[in-house]
Amino acid sequence: MGNVRIIDANAGVATSSDMLATLSAGYGPRDFAVRFWDGTTLAPDPGQPARFTLVLQHAGALRAMFWPFNDKGFGEAYIFNDFDVEGDIHAFFGWVHCLIERGWGTLKNLRFLYRLMRLPNTPQPRIGGPAGAALSGPKRSLERDRAAIEFSYNTSNEFYKLFLDRNMLYTCAYFHSPDEPLDTAQERKIDLICRKLRLKPGEKLLDIGCGWGGLLVHAVKHYGVEGVGVTLSREMVAYSRERIKAEGLEGRCRVEYQDYREVPKTGEYDKVSCIGLAEHIGEQMMTELMKAAWGALKPRGHYLHHGITLRANTPYPKWTAFARRYVFPDGELRPIVSALKAGESVGFEIRDVESLREHYVLTLENWVKNLESHREAAVKLTDDVTYRIFRIYLAGAARGYRTGLYNLYQTLFVKPETTGVTGLPLTREAWYGGPRDG
């Protein structure tokens, strides 16, 4: 792995340098630098730019990163500062992806393991940040789901404002070009949803898992509907209600602290949306979500389902355990067929499916950039561990979408009348070109 500029020659640095070379075999020209705990630096390969610098904070950093071989250790080594990543963290995940693609075979090699275990066992203290989710009770029970959602969104609204757009949308945006501002792309996304649903003045819209209310407020202001949102996050309820009041929409829009299973099946809504809830509830409850949307809708009603999926015929990624511990407890991803099958099982017709995978890469890159640019404020609001949790989680997710492991689909369902009539126009253009496109 050459080009070591020795400042303080010691066996620990030499051993760690050699082990990094073994790990990086097959990565190609090394386009990153390494800085060791004693100030020793390792330059990139000749002619290569340093896209990022891997900082090993102590002599046992590599041991902390790769031992034990569990599904959370690597992420925890980062958030507790056994190692750091300076510069382009997306490029860093390119190196990590190379390790994963090799199946961690090197790490299972007895010779490598022997050398790893000879490194000092000196991890940084595991203090700071959230304690990690420790949910109890039956999985997918209402009580446990309430606890999971509260954990996911109990970081202050002010923290999320640091990296989200002005409408506080924590879901995939819709870009016309890669350099388009996030605010513009997120507003286009919620407008696209409104147009797919063909919202019209006087209709009633239910938004299941409404977040901070951005879609509801937009739909009420620009499409003249009456909006109702439900969520299990008290932080989001409080924020949404304050925003609705500030916008002067209290008579036309409201947000309730309510689970999707508690939505009355009264058939009173013309349109229903669910943006980003599916990944919280998993395959087990997908049919229940579809029943909730079906029961809330009038005949000819439309349901827009926006959810993250996992590539079909793919083993469940082990590293998602880190996200389930520190970001989204009980989160679960399944292939798109799970939602399609569940929707059809309750009576919905599938009328349109659109992948937004590349859009989610751009969205996550924007979130990471915004978070990094507000690091000082983020740490002041929370702590360094929390900042690191979100940085590595968002950047890791971006890599997953970039490689096609994850996807994001918008699916338009319709509830036909008993006669089969749906009321939909004949072409996509007719519903995509809704009221605001004329």
Predicted pLDDT of residue 428: 84
Domains along the sequence of the chain with CATH: 4-118 (3.30.1050), 142-437 (3.40.50.150)
- Predicted structure pTM score: 0.94
Instruction: Report d(CA 300, CA 291) in Å as an integer.
Output: 15
**Encoded amino acid at 295, one letter:** G
Predicted pLDDT of residue 194: 97
CB distance 240 to 234 below 8 Å: no
229: alpha, beta or left? (left if phi > 0; alpha if psi -120 to 50): beta
- Taking each helix axis as running N to C, give the angle between helix 336-346 and helix 286-296, from 0 to 180 degrees, rounded to the nearest 10: 40
What's the whole-number average pLDDT of the chain?
92
Residue 248 in tokens: 């002067």
User: pLDDT tens digits, residue range 379-437?
Assistant: 999 999 999 999 999 999 999 999 999 999 999 999 999 999 999 988 888 877 755 53
Q: Read off φ and ψ for residue 31, nearest 5 degrees.
A: -105, 30
Predicted pLDDT of residue 2: 44
Predicted pLDDT of residue 3: 45
Predicted pLDDT of residue 106: 55
Burial category of 12 from C-beta neighbours within 10 Å (exposed 0-12, middle 13-18, buried 19 and up): buried
The residue length of the chain stands at: 438
Angstrom CA distances, 192 to 168, 187, 198, 284, 433, stand at: 17, 9, 10, 29, 9
Q: Where do we find the tokens 């978070």?
A: 371
CB distance 324 to 334 below 8 Å: no
Q: Where do we find the tokens 């890159």?
A: 365
Count other C-beta atoms under 10 Å from residue 375's C-beta.
14
Average pLDDT (327-352) is: 96
Task: Give every strand in the sheet of 83-87, ordered side by side.
Answer: 4-5, 41-42, 32-35, 52-56, 83-87
pLDDT above 90 (res 332): yes
User: pLDDT tens digits, residue range 51-79?
Assistant: 999 999 999 999 999 888 777 899 999 99
